[in-house]
């Protein structure tokens, strides 16, 4: 069963505006979360991560927020650029094993 869920399969945003991608998880043992980005015909590449001891991690235009009580995390992209158009995967791992559990992905389209 899906322990990492991305309920929005797609998101369209105007260039320069904020993109907000959401991810929910069910396993309270998850304590490290990652976002991967995937362009067509390419494999996913690591984007940003966050440990469960933090509630925010920022890297340039990308910020990930974690709400442990709600078992929810989000990725903010500000400002959105056309090159950000891609599929974004949320992933989680537990302390006892390094396997990654991925969500189904969210397709982001940034329009001019």
Partner 1 sequence: DAGVIQSPRHEVTEMGQEVTLRCKPISGHDYLFWYRQTMMRGLELLIYFNNNVPIDDSGMPEDRFSAKMPNASFSTLKIQPSEPRDSAVYFCASSPVWGRHYEQYFGPGTRLTVT
- Of 87, 84, 63, 85, residue with least CA distance to 74: 63
Cis check: omega of the bond before 79, within 30 degrees of 0 = yes
Contacts of 58 (CB under 8 A, 6+ apart): 64
Q: Which stretch binds partner 1 (CB under 8 A): 13-21, 63-71, 75-83, 93-101?
A: 93-101
Tokens of 64: 């990930």
The DSSP bridge partners found for residue 59 are 62
Binding piece for partner 1, criterion CB under 8 A, among 12-20, 44-52, 62-70, 72-80: 44-52
Give the whole-angstrom CA distance, residue 53 versus residue 81.
30
The site that binds partner 1 (CB under 8 A) totals a number of residues, namely 22
| Binding track over 49-88 against partner 1, x by CB under 8 A | x---------------------------------------
- Does 35 participate in binding partner 1 (rule CB under 8 A)? no
**Candidate segments 2-10, 13-21, 62-70, 73-81, binder of partner 1 by CB under 8 A:** 2-10
Q: Is 46 in the site for partner 1 (CB under 8 A)?
A: yes
């Amino acid at each position: 069963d899906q322990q990492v869920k991305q309920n929005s399969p797609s998101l369209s945003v105007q260039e320069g505006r904020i993109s907000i991608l959401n991810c929910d998880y069910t396993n309270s043992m998850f304590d490290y979360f990652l976002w991967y980005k995937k362009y067509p015909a390419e494999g996913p590449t690591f984007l940003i991560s966050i440990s469960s001891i933090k509630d925010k991690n920022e890297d340039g235009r990308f910020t990930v927020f974690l709400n442990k009580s709600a078992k929810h995390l989000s990725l903010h992209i500000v400002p959105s650029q056309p090159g950000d158009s891609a599929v974004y995967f949320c992933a989680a791992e537990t302390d006892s094993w390094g396997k990654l559990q991925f969500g189904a992905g969210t397709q982001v389209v940034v329009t001019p």
